Amino acid sequence: MSVTDTRPAPDVASPRLSTLDRFLPVWIGIAMAVGLGLGRAVPGLGDALGAVEVDGVSLPIAIGLLVMMYPVLAKVRYDRLDSVTGDRRMLAASLVLNWVVGPALMFALAWLLLPDLPEYRTGLVVVGLARCIAMVIIWNDLACGDREAAAVLVALNSLFQVVAFAGLGWFYLSWLPGRLGLEQDSLDVSTWQIASSVLVFLGVPLVLGYLSRRVGEKRWGRTAYETSFLPRVGPWALYGLLFTIVVLFALQGDQVTSRPLDVARIALPLLAYFALMWGGGLLLGRALGLGYERTTTLAFTAAGNNFELAIAVAIATFGVTSGQALAGVVGPLIEVPVLVALVYVSLHLRSRLFPKDPA
């Protein structure tokens, strides 16, 4: 089922996208261009948007992400989460992909492709440590992944993020480079900064979505909730996504458009990273026999990153005009179109890789 689908949520998601969602790359391309254009054309707009923050979290971006995530999380059938949490293969595979494979792969790609650009290299390592939390919910829904599994995996990896982010930052920026005789760096990030990001970008919409489901079903019944309420709030996921993209790109529009060669250098390892993580997740899920929906969820939660946290950490540690911050900003510049494209790849491969799954 697509983000803006107005039909009731079926047990088996349809692989067909709505007319609005089929043109999603167009809307996203326009939003990116508008954001970059505003950031370039309006002096001080990025500084003004960046100044409106709470505990290092950009308020406009937070609002956009809350609006984006709430409709999808309101669609989750929370009474089915037990079947997801009992699937230890999927949970273990997600943790390995996100906390062993992902950071190590980004570290290797950053050093391999950016050996002469230490600031950008460090920024990419930070991006690799910030695991999926927000937009991946949208990509998974568009690709007809398992909505309940996505909620569980995002929550699970968010908890690990609070615990592991700072330690892995020290490992990949200081300890491991030192052992390999490479240039070392450091990362100054507090546990509260990470926890506040998780709380804002996941906790708030998750609670609102859960309460909507419980109260709505109790008041109107499940059928009425899914046929009357959800179609009304569903389109707001797309509106929130587009608003977030405009604000995000407006924040750093001047930097991105004034340094195109640097952006191209940063983009190369990111392209390789997203493709390899998504492809690895797809192959692993298929090998484990998870079926299309959960395999798709595993692949997208492995490929997605918490760019909000990565950018906030880079700015707080190295400064808003630093190369590390620019690398963080280029992250979603590449991630958004690549993962949108992978949505269509997923739907195209469904019948070929999972012929026994009902469509």
Q: What is the pLDDT of residue 50?
A: 64
pLDDT the model gives residue 9 = 41
Predicted local confidence at residue 15, as pLDDT: 41
Contact indicator for 122, 185 with CB cutoff of 8 Å: yes
Other beta carbons within 10 Å of 240: 24
Residue 351's φ and ψ, nearest 5 degrees, are -70, -25
CA distance 268 to 184: 22
**What single letter denotes the amino acid at residue 217?**
E
Q: Are 323 and 140 in contact (CB under 8 A)?
A: no
Position 39 scores a pLDDT of 78
All structural domains of the chain with their residue ranges: 19-349
Name residue 305's beta-bridge partners. Answer: 131
Phi, psi dihedrals of residue 289, rounded to the nearest 5°: 70, 35
Centre a 10 Å sphere on the Cβ of residue 221 and count the other Cβ atoms it contains: 12
State the Cα angle at 45 between 42 and 48, rounded to 5°.
155
DSSP 245: H
Q: What is the pLDDT of residue 10?
A: 39
Q: What is the DSSP letter of 305?
A: B
pLDDT at 69 (0 to 100): 80
Please identify which residue in the block is written with the tokens 């990153």.
305
Q: Do residues 129 and 167 touch, judged by C-beta distance below 8 A?
A: no
Q: What are phi and psi of 182, to 5 degrees?
A: -105, 170
Stated length of the chain: 359
CATH 1.20.1530.20 describes domain 19-349: yes
What's the rounded Cα separation, in Å, for the pair 43 and 29? Answer: 22
pTM value > 0.85? no
Burial label, 80 (beta-carbon count in 10 A; 0-12, 13-18, 19+): middle
pLDDT recorded at residue 13 = 36
Give the separation between CA 210 and CA 356, rounded to whole angstroms.
32
**The predicted structure's pLDDT at residue 345:** 94
Is the alpha carbon torsion for 261, 262, 263, 266 positive or negative?
Answer: positive
pLDDT averaged over 10-residue windows placed end to end, the chain, 359 residues: 43 47 76 84 71 68 82 84 83 94 96 93 92 80 90 86 86 92 80 73 84 93 91 85 82 74 92 96 94 95 84 75 82 86 92 80
- Residue 7 DSSP symbol: S
- Provide Rg for the chain, Cα atoms: 19
- Give one DSSP letter per residue of 184-223, joined into a string: P------HHHHHHHHIIIIIHHHHHHHHHHHHHHHHH-HH
Nearest Cα neighbor of 184 from 173, 171, 196, 192 is 173
